Structure 1
Amino acid sequence: MESQHSMEQNLSTTELSRRKKSKKSRRTGKTIMVFFLSVLVWASLAYGGYRLGFSLINQSTAALQQSIDDVKESNALQLQRMTEQMKSLEFELQLIEESINQTDSQLSDSNTTREALINRITELDKQLEELKKSLQKLKENTRG
Structure 2
Amino acid sequence: MSDKYFQASSTPSTTLPLPTDGKQERRRKRGGLFSSLFNTLNPSRTQGKRNLMPTVLAVLLWAALAYGGYAFAMHTLDKQQQFVNQRITQVQEKNQEQMKAMGEQLTLVQDEMSEVASGLAHIQEELQMTGETIGGTDKTKQALQERIDQLNTQLVDLKASLKKLEDAARAW
- Greater relative contact order structure (CA < 8 Å, 6+ sep): 1
Q: Does 1:62 align with 2:89?
A: yes
Q: CA deviation at 1:43?
A: 1.4
Tell me whether 1:130 sits opposite 2:157 in the alignment.
yes
1:105 maps to a residue whose letter is: E
Larger radius of gyration: 2
Deviations 1:62-86 (A, max 9, x none): 2222233233222222221111010
Deviation per residue, 1:34-80 (Å, 9 max, x gap): 33332232111111011112112211222222233233222222221
Distance 2:72 2:91 in 1: 28
Where structure 1 has 5 or more consecutive residues not aligned to the other structure, the ranges are 1-20
Moved more, 68-77 or 114-123: 68-77
- Give the counterpart of 2:69 among 17, 38, 42: 42
Question: Structure 1 residue 102: deviation in Å?
Answer: 4.5
1:123 is paired with a residue of what secondary structure? Answer: helix
Q: Which of 117, 130, 137 is equivalent to 1:110?
A: 137
Contact 1:93 1:124 in 2 (8 A): yes
Alignment partners' CA distance in 2, 1:58 and 1:101: 63
Q: Which moved more, 1:38-47 or 1:80-89?
A: 38-47
* Number of equivalences: 124
Q: Residues of 1 paired with 2:120 and 2:166: CA distance?
A: 24
Query: Paired residue for 1:18?
Result: none
Letter in 1 for 2:102: N
Partner of 2:107: 80
* Larger helix share, 1 or 2: 1
Scaled by the length of structure 1, what TM-score is found?
A: 0.68
Between 46-55 and 94-103, report the one with greater CA deviation. Answer: 94-103
1:96-141 CA-partner distances (Å, limit 9, x unpaired)? 2233334433333432222112101101011111212222333333
Task: Please state if 1:51 is matched with 2:85.
Answer: no
Cα offset, 1:30, TM superposition: 4.2
Q: State, as a whole percentage, how many aligned pairs show the same letter.
A: 23
1:91 aligns with 2:118: yes
- TM-score norm. by structure 2 comes to 0.59
**Are the equivalent residues in 2 in contact too, given 1:100–1:114 (CA < 8 A)?**
no
What 5-or-longer segments of structure 2 have no aligned partner?
Answer: 1-48
CA distance in 1, matches of 2:129, 2:141: 11
